Structure 1
Amino acid sequence: MSPPQLTRRSLLVGALGIAAASGLSGCVANNGPRPSTAAPGSKADIGEVEGTLRFAFWGGSDGETAGFAKIKKDFEARHPKATIELQTLPYDGFFSGIDRGILSRTAPDVFRVDYTSIGKYTSHGVLLDLTPYLSAAESSAFLPALYDAVRFEGRTYGVPHQTDTSAIAFSRKALDEAGIRSVPDRLDDAWTWEEFASVATKLRKSLPDDKYPFAYDWTAAGAYRWASFLYQAGGSLLTPSLRRSAVDGDPGRKAMAFTQRFFDERWVPANNTIKTTVYSDNFFLNQTVAMTFIGDFLVPELADTTNGYQGGEWATTYMPRDRAAASDLGGNAVVATRDTENPELAAAFLKFLVEADQMRDFCQLANELPTRKDLADTALDYAVRPDVMGVFTQQATTITETAVRETVVPGFASINTALQDQLELAFHGRGTDASVRAIDGAVQQAVSA
């Protein structure tokens, strides 16, 4: 049976409830009240612009590349005297290059930034203040939680371009051979931790010794996704003030004990560690695992007829749940540097990026989720495997208010680095209690830095 269609309006807005529906301005660190009218001195009506703008982003899927190429073409058609130079760079080293450019004043005018990294830029005064360039209608066009992700101390420093989250891709053949006949096709029926453990155990027994039940997507900069299990257990990384670690508690110990079973019971490959060079999608593509946790942006890669998954039919299902369902906040904003020589051109380009038609077209090409309210109830025509994208759309409604608040704090990059170091040790023999205490201390140090 096909899952019921949840409206896209439930993405984050519905998931966060009344607080999100009325705006998270009082919940996200240092985010002041959202203005209801344009501020005095508004520059929202930019008009015609001209000049050259450098836009840097990391190389993603072919769909993302095509999406940005279309945006360039359409913007230049609207503004014939403007030129957008697209700079496609590797993700590894992307932000260190941006940082060096900001210090030397040679940074690109506009660059892409993920929500886990944006806090360090909004809090250090290196971005163009977009507040005067946005009308009240433009400011209120976004899903509230994601709009708050680009704000700091009441000012807006970018536009939330798209979002993504994790779900599970699985091989139908592998599950059938293990006797797993029922896979959740509704969010409300997602496997509990106990049910997920049972599925992993059955797969472990049915698979050859060199094959494994699943791989997780916590590698490298994705270490923060481990917190999804912490949220599912009813815990959080930080206290409500966002100033102290909250990992050392019963939910933290429960989440740690459960995820340590991934290695203890050989549910994941031994090299599916935090600091491995092999990502979760690669384990699935080479058929080392029967299931994998992936973000929706990887669907085109798995579906590629030449280099994609060759193990037969595959589909998607939901993240497991414990006390609650929860998933990670992924995706990216686009920002302009404070030192851009043409702030009006930069602002005009950012506003153009997130117009409804442009966002819809980009997300459909890239298999990603939009951030505008008026696209929330729109069924998008995804370019690749629209049949599996509904799972990610529904899964995104489980991104908790806590996850949003914690992911966009200014020091989150340091928190993520702390998780990388400590989770690596936790999955290589350190006991549960010691692991939780170590993570708690490292997160507290990151928050206090």
Structure 2
Amino acid sequence: MRKLLLVTVLLLGVMLSATTIEVLWMGWPQDQVMQLVNAFKEETGIDVDIQLVPFGQLFQTIEVRLAAGDGTPDVYIVDGPNTASYAARGYLLPLDEHFSDEEMSAWFDASIEEGSYQGTFYSVPYGTSSAGIFYNKAIFEEYGVPFLPETIEERLTWEEVAEIAKKLTKDTNGDGLTDIWGLVIEQIDRPYLIFPMVQSLGAKVLSDDGLESQGYITSDEFVEGTTFYWKLFNEWKVSPQGLNDSAISREYFGTGRAAMMLGNEWNLRRMLQYPDVDYGLSPFPYFEGGVAVTPTGSWHVGINSKTKKLEEALAFTKYITGKEAVITWHKLNGIAPARPDVYEALPEVFDNPMWQLFVKEMETTAVPRPRTPGYSQYELMLREAFNSIHYGADPRSTLEEVAVRIDRELRKYR
């Protein structure tokens, strides 16, 4: 009898474990995330052990867990640019055979590109992003500067933006300190916002195989774009140094300490904390004689290549990135959907002209960050270089020095 009871308990344990998947997820508010998790369980009967990890600990946690090689977590959140890194090391399950052409057509082309590596689809788009110039209408009116154009057809050049920023950088009380800055950059040192500047001039930011930076981040075009970035802080002094927290940049703009902010689409929701600001949105600038390029990319969903619960992992991945769940997630959290059908399904939200501008950019000018198995090291070292440059370091020599360091790291992937 005892043996039969033991066997029954063991079988029950196996059955329960077979219907529970482990998910490693971004540390968004638990009450928001659990609405989707509970709906998935109700629809499928599959339990989800979801672990919410704060952003600052997320990437290290993913690395440690995947390196263990025990098949858990079954599903995990993937920062889009890291797709290549996880795929190259065998951490992501190839997904081409698991998604039909119809399913693949649901996402923006740039999102599919970001979720692919060497022609194979590895991570499913969950969100996306874009950016533009937010401007404070009251400051423009006070100093007699015309409002910025708000259509893609009238996109400003960076040269024009710099001239406007000079006019709106003000010492209002004569104490020798700047009280209103012409332009703040929300992500001041991140390639996400800086790459489109150099790409507008024709620069490539990495070799096609993703394994060489010399000759790319050291090209004349890359240096020219980065020198413009240097001038914003050091020659023209229209942008404040040291705003390394996007929330502080947003505070500068929201409290009238900056006339313009180069920032992301998420500010359409986050600026609600500054209800007194009347602002407009102008498209991401380009350089005269260059092309329009905008940043894009965000969170994706990946399946552990060693998962022992493939069917359940696929069910969760398809559910959480499906139209209805993404609609719910946008309502809860405000992340820009990577699915055009969600924009069509929520006209009460996305018929807003500012959202429409971002959607057009996602469809036409969006360029994802480069695909390289060494993206984390590449971005980290470039951020250090951009930080030095915005504090006054010489752009060319700084980029030449960091290219040597980056390529030393990328060699391990050859």
- TM-score category, normalised to shorter length: 0.7 to 0.9
Instruction: Give how far 1:433 is off.
Output: 2.8
Instruction: Give how far 1:69 is off.
Output: 3.7
8 Å CA contact retained: 1:117, 1:412: yes
- Aligned partner (choices 49, 53, 68) of residue 89 of structure 1: 53
Q: 1:65 to 1:174 in 2, by over 3 A?
A: farther
Instruction: Give how far 1:277 is off.
Output: 8.1
- CA distance in 2 between counterparts of 1:179 and 1:385 reads 30
- CA distance in 2 between counterparts of 1:418 and 1:333 reads 23
- CA distance in 1 between counterparts of 2:402 and 2:80 reads 21
Instruction: Give how far 1:98 is off.
Output: 1.4
8 Å CA contact retained: 1:334, 1:350: yes
- Aligned partner (choices 273, 298, 322) of residue 355 of structure 1: 322
Determine the structure 1 residue equivalent to 2:240. 269
Determine the structure 2 residue equivalent to 1:59. 27
Q: Secondary structure at the match of 1:290?
A: strand
Instruction: Give how far 1:241 is off.
Output: 4.6
Q: Secondary structure at the match of 1:93?
A: helix
Q: How does 1:325-404 map to 2 (within 5 A)?
A: 325-372=292-339, 374=341, 378=344, 380-381=346-347, 386-397=352-363, 399-400=365-366, 403-404=367-368
Q: CA RMSD in A?
A: 2.9
- CA distance in 2 between counterparts of 1:65 and 1:281 reads 26
Q: 1:310 to 1:356 in 2, by over 3 A?
A: closer
Runs of 5+ in structure 1 lacking a partner?
1-48
Q: 1:389 to 1:65 in 2, by over 3 A?
A: farther
- For residues 384-405 of structure 1, the C-alpha deviation after alignment (integer angstroms, 9 at most, x for no partner) is 99443223223324545xx43x
Amino acid corresponding to residue 328 of structure 1 in structure 2:
P
8 Å CA contact retained: 2:83, 2:116: no
Instruction: Give how far 1:429 is off.
Output: 2.4
Identity %: 20
Determine the structure 2 residue equivalent to 1:39. none
Q: 1:131 to 1:395 in 2, by over 3 A?
A: closer
Amino acid corresponding to residue 239 of structure 1 in structure 2:
S
Q: 1:177 to 1:193 in 2, by over 3 A?
A: same
- Aligned partner (choices 422, 432, 435) of residue 395 of structure 2: 432
Instruction: Give how far 1:125 is off.
Output: 0.6
Matched, 1:160 2:130: no
Amino acid corresponding to residue 416 of structure 1 in structure 2:
E
- CA distance in 1 between counterparts of 2:56 and 2:350 reads 26
Amino acid corresponding to residue 268 of structure 1 in structure 2:
S
- CA distance in 1 between counterparts of 2:393 and 2:165 reads 23
Q: Secondary structure at the match of 2:307?
A: coil
Larger Rg: 2
Q: 1:137 to 1:379 in 2, by over 3 A?
A: closer
- Aligned partner (choices 153, 157, 181) of residue 146 of structure 2: 181
Q: 1:281 to 1:54 in 2, by over 3 A?
A: farther
- Compare the two structures and name the one with the higher helix fraction: 2
- Aligned partner (choices 124, 136, 139) of residue 171 of structure 1: 136
- For residues 346-378 of structure 1, the C-alpha deviation after alignment (integer angstroms, 9 at most, x for no partner) is 1111111232333334335443433346557x2
- For residues 402-436 of structure 1, the C-alpha deviation after alignment (integer angstroms, 9 at most, x for no partner) is x43x5332222221112111112212222233234
- Aligned partner (choices 87, 95, 98) of residue 130 of structure 1: 95
Instruction: Give how far 1:238 is off.
Output: 1.9
